[in-house]
Amino acid sequence: MSSDALFTPSLSTELMTVTVSDRAWLAAMLEVEAALAQVESRVGLIPGHAAEGIVAHCRVDEFDVAQLGKAAVRSANPVIPLVNALRAAVPKEAAPYVHRGATSQDVLDTAMMLIARRGLDLVIGDLGRAAAAAAALADQHRSTVMAARTLLQQALPTTFGLKAAGWLNAIVEARLELIRVRRTRLAVQFGGAAGTLAALSDRGLEVARALAIELELPEPVMPWHSARARVVELASMLGIAAGVAGKVALDVVLLAQTEVSEVNERAGPGRGASSTMPQKHNPVESIEILAAVRGVNASVATLQAAMVGEHERAAGAWQAEWPAFAETLRLAAGAVSRLASLLTGLEIDRERMRRNLDLTGGAIMAEHVVMMLGERIDRVMARALVDAAVASAASSGRPFKDVLGADPAITAQLNAAELAAGLDPAGYLGASSQLIDRALEAYARAGGDR
């Protein structure tokens, strides 16, 4: 994918676009070939001078990425033309030792793990920034009362701080899972032509162990050329991280609607502008996050499907992984990076939140009134009285609070002061503040934004 394409880079980041580029894949494959030569020399399988000659030519600039890509079409993978080109580049006496005991999948899968490690570091870092921004919002707005919405309808009062704390907790959990995957699920792949390491006789496991150490990747129990769970787990965790970003973005899009207008993305010259309507301020970061999430979903599904492969080397499924894997990293990075930016610059309208709470004339507090009445009369009767008041307010257009105050069956149980207190949204927030504290404490235990 060219870095100057019109559409695709806009959904990623510059750093991730470079990290999963064709040049980066080539560099990672060459890193594996160089490491293999070094460890095989170290254990005495190939001459030291041969290893030196191989390592000296494992440089990206010595190879034509585009030409290798064209040649890869003839062999259904890029390692074969790369190995041929590397053998042609190294000193003649070193050529027979290039790629010794390895197969194309060893090189490509291990290169994938190296790219994953670098890509995960970027995503984990941006999740840390997003978590820090969400934590600040949760703490700053723990008393900012707003309407909670279920099925897109006003339900009960909540606080924006609690909403942000929910975002925070989801971000922290996604970040911890990616850290776990980075530490425990990346692994070197080295099994030879069919997973037996037969070409290296009794030295195969020794080379695999040394290669893992050299590349600073865990050594798996067995070669995983036909067991693709670690690839799918990695992609799935990236999908979850992107999904977390998508959840926040969708909340912001809905809260930024003109008729709601409780939050907005930060303004700036030309930011969120329409091509024809000067008044528009579109939530562009949220929109791009949601677009990226849809792409991640498709790529993760491709990787999931690729788990089903034939015997010791899949025909087509393995090949389908490479672009899908790169796309998952690319788009997840775009979603998470924009999430951090979105939360950092989010503008909160406290007054609009309060006005929207009053849209139903107090009906948002109907549950609280039922609870209060239920402490003095039969709870079923309490619910019936409040249901009747809600229906009367809706049909007559009168404020719910006025209907309550005019119902003698209700005022016989709750006086005016009690009704006023019962209709105050700030008085019916339950454990919101404690839940915010718990989210902030969990964030601190997870290491904050480190």
Q: What are the residue numbers of the active site?
A: 274, 313
Query: Do 114 and 15 touch, CB atoms closer than 8 A?
Result: no
Cβ-based neighbours of 215, under 8 Å, separated by 6 or more: 31, 32, 35, 110, 114, 188
Among all chains, which residue has been given the structure tokens 């820090």? 132
Compute the distance between CA of residue 314 and CA of residue 403 in angstroms, rounded to an integer.
Answer: 70
Query: 3-state DSSP call for residue 42?
Result: helix
Residue 290, token pair as written in the block: 């949601």
Cβ-based neighbours of 2, under 8 Å, separated by 6 or more: none
Compute the distance between CA of residue 189 and CA of residue 392 in angstroms, rounded to an integer.
Answer: 70
Query: Do 432 and 158 touch, CB atoms closer than 8 A?
Result: yes
Q: Where are the beta strands (DSSP E) in 311-435?
A: 347-348
Cβ-based neighbours of 429, under 8 Å, separated by 6 or more: 145, 157, 158, 159, 162
Residue 139, token pair as written in the block: 């703490």
Query: Do 56 and 223 touch, CB atoms closer than 8 A?
Result: no
Compute the distance between CA of residue 450 and CA of residue 441 in angstroms, rounded to an integer.
Answer: 15
On the 0-12 / 13-18 / 19+ scale of CB atoms within 10 A, 8 is middle
